[in-house]
Amino acid sequence: MPKKKGKKKKKEEAPKEEETDYDNMDLEMLREVVPMLRTQKDKSQLDRNYVQLERDTIQTFYDITKQEVRETDHAILSKEREMESMEDNHRVEVRVYLQKVKHLEYEHKNNLTAIGAEGESFLNEETENHDDKSLGLKNSKQTLLAELADLEWSSAEEIEQLQLQQAKNLRYMREEFEKNLNALGAKQEEKLSQLQSDLELRRKVHIHEIEERKNLHINDLMRNHAKAFTQMKAYYNDITTDNLKLIRSLKDEVAEMKKKAVANQRVMNEITQKNLWLKEPLAVTVAEVADLRAQLKGREKG
C-alpha cells in the first residue's frame, strides 16, 4: 500500500507544461492565427529552399573552378615532363654522337695497330696511305666535331627556344587562368551581393508584414479590450444603479421605521402614563371588588 501512494505522488508531481500565448486565446482567434502561422511556415520553407539552391549553385561553381585549376596544374606538369623528356633525348643524342666519335677513334687506333703489324716491308708504301688516311680521319674527325658542336649549339638553341616558348605559354595560361578566376570571383561576389540584397529586402518585407500583423492584432486586442471594458462598465453601472436604488429604498424604510419607532415610543409613553394614571383607581376598584366578594361570601354563609 505505501508503494501505491508513492506512485500517486510521483504522478501528481509531474512537471506541468509551460503556458504559451496561444493557450489563453479563444477558439476564433486561434482559427485566425493558424492560417497566418501556416503561411509564415510556407514562406520560411520557400526562403530556405531558395537559399539552399543558391548555395548549391555557388558550390557547383566552386567545384568547376577547382576542377579547372586541377586540369591546369596537370597540363603544366605535362608540359614540364615533356620538356624534361626533350632534354633527356638531347642528352641521349649527345651521348650517341660522343660514342660514335669514340668508336671512330677506337677504329683509328685499331687501323694503326693493324698497319704496324702487317710489316715494315710495306711501311714506305703505306706511309703515304697512312698519312692520307690519318689526314682524312682527322678531317672527318674535325668535321664530326664541328657537326657535333653545331648540333649541340642548335639543340641548345632549340631547347632554349622551347623553354622560352613553354615559359611564355605557361605565363599566358596563368594570366588567362587568373583572369578567368578573378572574373568568376567577381561574378560570384556580384551574385552573392545580389543574393544578400534580395534576402535583406525579403527580410525587411517579412518584418514589415509581421509588424502589420502585430499592429492589426494589437488593434484587435485594443478593440476587444475596449468592448469588454465597455460591457463591464455598463454591467457594473447597472449593478451600481440597482445598489443605489436599493440603498435609497432601504434608507426610506429605515427613516419610516425610525418614524414608526418614535410614534411607538410616544404611544408607549402615553400608555405608560395612562397605566400610571389608572393604577390608583384600579387599586381602589380591586379593593372594592375584594370587599364585595367578602360581603358576598358572608351573605352566602348567613
Percent helix, strand and coil across the chain, each rounded to 5? 95, 0, 5
Nearest one of 187, 196, 233, 179 to 68, comparing CA atoms:
179
Provide the pLDDT for residue 23: 64
Average pLDDT, rounded, for the chain: 78
Q: Is 158 part of any domain?
A: yes
Mean pLDDT across 253-274: 82
Q: Which domain holds residue 77?
A: 43-209
Q: 62 pLDDT exceeds 70?
A: yes
Q: 10 pLDDT exceeds 50?
A: no
Q: Is 80 part of any domain?
A: yes
Q: Is 130 part of any domain?
A: yes
Provide the pLDDT for residue 8: 45
Q: Which amino acid is at 242?
A: D
**Quick one: pLDDT band at residue 17, thresholds 50, 70, 90?**
low
User: For the chain, how many structural domains are there in total?
Assistant: 1
Provide the pLDDT for residue 278: 73
Burial of 267 (0-12, 13-18, 19+ CB in 10 A): exposed
User: Residues, the chain, total?
Assistant: 302
Q: Is 12 part of any domain?
A: no
Provide the pLDDT for residue 15: 54
Residue, of 221 and 125, whose pLDDT is higher = 221
Mean pLDDT across 249-265: 84
Provide the pLDDT for residue 70: 85
Q: 5 pLDDT exceeds 80?
A: no
Residue, of 198 and 122, whose pLDDT is higher = 198
Q: Which grid coordinates are listed for 269? A: 409613553
Share of the chain above pLDDT 90, in %: 0
Provide the pLDDT for residue 45: 86
Q: How far is CA 150 from each of CA 41, 98, 142, 227, 297, rounded to the nearest angstrom?
A: 83, 14, 12, 112, 200
Mean pLDDT across 285-301: 77
Mean pLDDT across 235-240: 83
Q: Is 146 part of any domain?
A: yes
Mean pLDDT across 81-93: 82
Q: Which amino acid is at 275?
A: N
Q: Specify the pTM.
A: 0.27
**Quick one: pLDDT band at residue 250, thresholds 50, 70, 90?**
confident
Provide the pLDDT for residue 279: 75
**Quick one: pLDDT band at residue 191, thresholds 50, 70, 90?**
confident
